[in-house]
């Protein structure tokens, strides 16, 4: 069974830069998995940040960026702000008929 | 404005059934693929099921295959999830989500409907 891995938690200082990653329990993440990223605050529905590895969704600030770093997908937040404190989820398309979400990263800005 | 509104959640006993609905507005429903994604209390997101615009392609996560059935009625702008043989581990908030671009842009989400499976 495919497991998509994310850091359980991360901390960043206001104004700082943080990179969250999305990997596979077995193998490497490539653009062929079409990684996408979602932001969720407690009690709210997820919000689309990045899709197709590095395309920002409409209205998403350019301080959010996506990429492939080594064998993982990555979400980088440059100039972190207090309201970036959220849970972040990646999801990978498994090539035919399924999607798998990572376990999520809880980002703290302090 | 795109809106997705789920309904039909509630408390059900293990082994029971429930049907969720999602009514869409603000876009041409029949031209978009739709999904159900769930989130157990305090846990992460889990993709559950997919259906394309014409209902010709339907996929399920292994965890629900054989128990859940996704369907849609384009005339009513509605998406459904029939859930049978429910288990404790199916307890979650169920979101309907539009697939804005194949294969990976879940671009609009409803606010969710809570399903609690408990005796």
> DSSP character for B27?
S
**Structural tokens at position B64:** 């629900």
Give B 77-116 residues with CB within 8 A of chain A: 95, 97, 100-101, 103-107, 109-112
Q: What are phi and psi of B34, to 5 degrees?
A: -130, 160
Q: How confident is the prediction for chain A on average, in pLDDT?
A: 95
- In Å, how far are A2, A30, A43, B52 from A35, measured between CA atoms? 15, 8, 24, 20
A2 pLDDT higher than 90: no
Q: Determine the Cα–Cα distance for residues A77 and A66; give it in Å rounded to an integer.
A: 9
Cβ within 8 Å, pair B107-A45: no
CB nearest A100 (choices: B47, B97, B100): B47
Residues 6+ apart with CB under 8 A from B56: none
> Are the CB atoms for A45 and A32 separated by under 8 Å?
no
pLDDT at B101: 84
| pLDDT tens, residue by residue, A18-43 | 999 999 999 999 999 999 999 999 99
Give B 40-79 residues with CB within 8 A of chain A: 44-47, 50, 59, 61-62
User: CB pairs below 8 Å between A and B: how many?
Assistant: 63
User: Is some CB atom of chain A closer than 8 A to the CB atom of B32?
Assistant: no
Return the HEC string of chain A. Answer: CCCEEECCEEEECCCCEEEEEEEECCCCCCHHHCCEEEEECCCCCCEEEEECCCEECCCCCCCEEEEEECCEEEEEEECCCHHHCCEEEEEEECCCCCEEECCCEEEEEC
pLDDT at B103: 85
Q: Which of A77-81, B55-59, B103-107 has the lowest mean pLDDT?
A: B103-107
Listed residue (A93, A45, A85, A37) closest to B103, CA to CA: A93
Residue B53, classified by CB atoms within 10 Å of its CB into exposed (0-12), middle (13-18) or buried (19+), is middle
**Structural tokens at position A15:** 């104004």
Q: How confident is the prediction for chain B on average, in pLDDT?
A: 96
| pLDDT tens, residue by residue, A37-74 | 999 999 999 999 999 999 999 999 999 999 999 999 99
pLDDT at A96: 80
| pLDDT tens, residue by residue, B44-80 | 999 999 999 999 999 999 999 999 999 999 999 999 9
């Amino acid at each position: 069974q495919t497991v998509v891995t994310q850091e359980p938690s991360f901390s960043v200082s206001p104004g700082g830069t943080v990179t969250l990653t999305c990997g596979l329990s077995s193998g490497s993440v490539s653009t062929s998995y079409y990684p996408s990223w979602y932001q969720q605050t407690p009690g709210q529905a997820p919000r689309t940040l990045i899709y197709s590895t590095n395309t920002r969704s409409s209205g998403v600030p350019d301080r959010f960026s996506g990429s492939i770093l080594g064998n993982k997908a990555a979400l980088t937040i440059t100039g972190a702000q207090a309201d970036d404190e959220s849970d972040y989820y990646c999801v990978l398309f498994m090539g035919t008929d399924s999607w798998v979400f990572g376990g999520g990263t809880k980002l703290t800005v302090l | 404005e795109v809106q997705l509104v789920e309904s039909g959640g509630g408390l059900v006993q293990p082994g029971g059934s429930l049907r969720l609905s999602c009514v869409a507005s603000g876009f041409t429903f029949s031209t978009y693929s739709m999904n159900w994604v769930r989130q157990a209390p305090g846990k992460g997101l889990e993709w559950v099921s997919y259906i394309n615009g014409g209902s010709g392609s339907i996929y399920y996560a292994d965890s629900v295959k054989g128990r859940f059935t996704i369907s849609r009625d384009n005339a009513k702008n509605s998406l459904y999830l029939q859930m049978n043989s429910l288990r404790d581990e199916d307890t979650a908030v169920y979101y309907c989500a539009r697939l804005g671009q194949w294969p990976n842009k879940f671009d609009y989400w409803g606010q969710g409907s809570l399903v609690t499976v408990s005796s």
